[in-house]
Structure 1
Amino acid sequence: MGRTAKSDLVTLFAALTDPTRLRLLNLMDGREVCVCYFVEILKQGQPKISRHLAYLRRAGIVEARRDGKWMHYRIERPDDPKVASILDATLHSFKGDRDMQADLARLEKACCEPQRFVTLQGVPMPLTV
């Protein structure tokens, strides 16, 4: 039995209620990111980050890809136009948020200088999607 539009909206809104999940979406906007970067940027443990990513995957807005031992995540645009418009508005709202922009600056710094971060040694760089 498929999900209804109402259940998709409920699931989406539930996914968007957590600040960590919002920060993850912000970091994935327009790029595919290895989980190691999330751990480094958000300063949270890998199990906690993975639980949040699994929640976003269940909501149908994040996809994962394995590359050897690395897991990469990216935003998956929902088919339902209502759900997609809410996700788009959420992502757009991050552009005016100082904390979200600080996360992006930390990601940029980590990408440009991965040698400064022990946890990022040998980790693939985020890919633009």
Structure 2
Amino acid sequence: MRDLLAITKALADENRLRAIALLQGRELCLCQIVEVLSLAPSTMSKHMSILSRARLVESRKEGRWAYFRLADSDAPSEALQALELVLASVKQDKQAKADQQQLKQVLKLEPEELCRKQASCK
């Protein structure tokens, strides 16, 4: 029950759903997610922490960069089912489509450029 509560609470925010959609099929630096969602780095970091605690995303640090990806097959089945539902649901969402288009532009930039712009990696 505890896992299910953490998952449902984590999914009860539009920005976290948008972040999950961005991570489909890829790993992203926090600064890339910040750039697409136009949120403060500290706010996005908190959102990603909530998703991590719910075991919906996994993270790794590389130097001063934090990278995130969707949970893999080691995650609880509830988390994997929730991710499947979210990803299927946002497929046709107008905002999610706009986020994907913006992500294409963001991926052309190096994380160092984004960090200088945002100060998210300091």
The TM-score normalised by the length of structure 2 is 0.84
Structure 2 counterpart of 1:106: 102
Structure 2 counterpart of 1:20: 15
| Change in 2 beyond 3 A, CA 1:58/1:82 | closer
Please tell me the root mean square deviation across aligned C-alpha atoms, in Å: 2.0
Point out the structure with max Rg over C-alpha.
1
| Change in 2 beyond 3 A, CA 1:76/1:109 | same
Q: CA deviation at 1:120?
A: 5.4
Distance of 2:79 and 2:66 partners within structure 1: 25
Distance of 1:83 and 1:64 partners within structure 2: 15
Structure 2 counterpart of 1:126: none
Q: Which runs of 5+ in 2 are unaligned?
A: 117-122
Structure 1 counterpart of 2:119: none
Query: Pairwise mapping of residues 2-81 of structure 1 onto structure 2 (< 5 A)?
Result: 6-77=1-72, 79-81=75-77
For residue 34 of structure 2, what is the amino acid of its counterpart?
V
SS of residue paired to 1:60: coil
Distance of 2:75 and 2:39 partners within structure 1: 31
4+ residue segments displaced more than 3 Å: 77-80
Structure 2 counterpart of 1:92: 88
Percentage of matched positions with identical amino acids:
32
Q: Which runs of 5+ in 1 are unaligned?
A: 1-5, 122-129
